A and B are shown apart, each in its own frame.
Chain A
């Protein structure tokens, strides 16, 4: 019984801490910048899934409902909201949103942001995107359509952290050719991927089922430069616990 009280008490404490009722002084912040590095990207979506409490709860309240879903106890509403906005067709976080340039505004529905001082994140490892099996040359007669396969690689070195990458996103420009098809590899970190070949645009976002997010490379362009290519975004980690994966 004492154990149960202690366990229940700790849960209650964390829930109260994570939900509402904070009366901390408000400071300007950028919603969605959970890891407080000044940029809202896939790392913020992954940051939700860790155990660290954010220094600015309002920044983690991606949908602005006055509740920040950080860690296993709070569900995955906010990370799904943020990842859907970044990579799918989700709505933008309400003001002060991630796309607001310059200094963020105050949160109209505050739940607590005692500190928001964006700074470059600590470097835990050297990472690189590259290519494997890039053919030196392919031949074809004039006018003939030729195709070749190439792999995108993720390389991690000098890693001082206990785990490897748990999420990444990349944009690829293809000059002189067009993207015909894509597929993910059959194993990404600890996640066994059952579907080897997928149609363009396939995507999975099942964080709420302890899964992961896969946005396979889809045709893309840079609206400013007109470059053609593809984008992809993958989050391996589900909610903290045995279901979490890293590459």
Chain B
């Protein structure tokens, strides 16, 4: 490399998240005067043809954060009243077509858990309630135990669940 850039070392940095902290920052920066177990304090310097060149010094800042806890919820209870019933199918239709309020827990309204809140969720829920159709996806309706969304946070099928007070 007469000119250009190359990696000259790789570091693995280990950090323990502090208990109770929302976010922290780990910062890496170059500094003169650092001393290993042996040898003299080290200077940041680059030698070309035996002459010292003082380099420009970059830095690296890494944000550490904790993902928010995922709320437990019942599928097919977008109204949030603790029961997966006809009012929830109506709630979905009302939200989709007449401007009704959005559910506090979107995942609860995604009855078939296909990653989209649409009319198929209302139909699936009505089918389950009245024609013996497939039960709502995990963690299941109010007759099942509360649970979390099986999809990874941030995955395409994860719609999120802001709040759900019935678990």
Contacts and interface: CB of A to CB of B under 8 A. Distances in A.
Given A185-B7, A188-B8, A163 B32 contact: no
Contacts, number: 342
Contacts of A218: 36-37
Given A142-B66, A175-B26, A247 B13 contact: no
B8 A152 contact: yes
Interface stretch (A2-10, A22-30, A176-184): A176-184
B128 interface: no
B121 to A, nearest CB: 30
| Size class of the contact patch on chain B | 35 or more
Contacts of B40: 85-87, 99
B14 interface: yes
A201 B14 CA distance: 17
A161 B55 contact: no
Interface in A203-245: 215-225, 227, 229-235
Interface string A52-94: 1000000000000000000000000000000001111100000
Interface string A32-53: 0011010101111111111010
A171 B42 contact: yes
Contact of B2 (A144, A164, A178, A227): A164
B99 interface: no
Interface stretch (B16-24, B87-95, B105-113, B130-138): B16-24
Interface stretch (A13-21, A103-111, A126-134): A126-134
A42 B48 CA distance: 11
Given A34-B50, A128-B57, A232-B9, A169 B15 contact: no
| Size class of the contact patch on chain A | 35 or more
B47 A46 contact: yes
B144 interface: no
Given A142-B21, A146-B15, A169 B50 contact: no
Interface in B141-156: none
B40 to A, nearest CB: 5
A172 interface: yes
Given A137-B62, A178-B14, A182-B10, 13 more contacts: A49-B50, A129-B58, A147-B14, A148-B13, A150-B62, A168-B46, A173-B34, A180-B13, A220-B42, A221-B35, A225-B33, A229-B34, A235-B47
B45 A138 contact: no
Nearest to B34: A171
A150 B52 contact: no
Contacts of A147: 12-15
Contacts of A44: 50
A153 B7 contact: yes
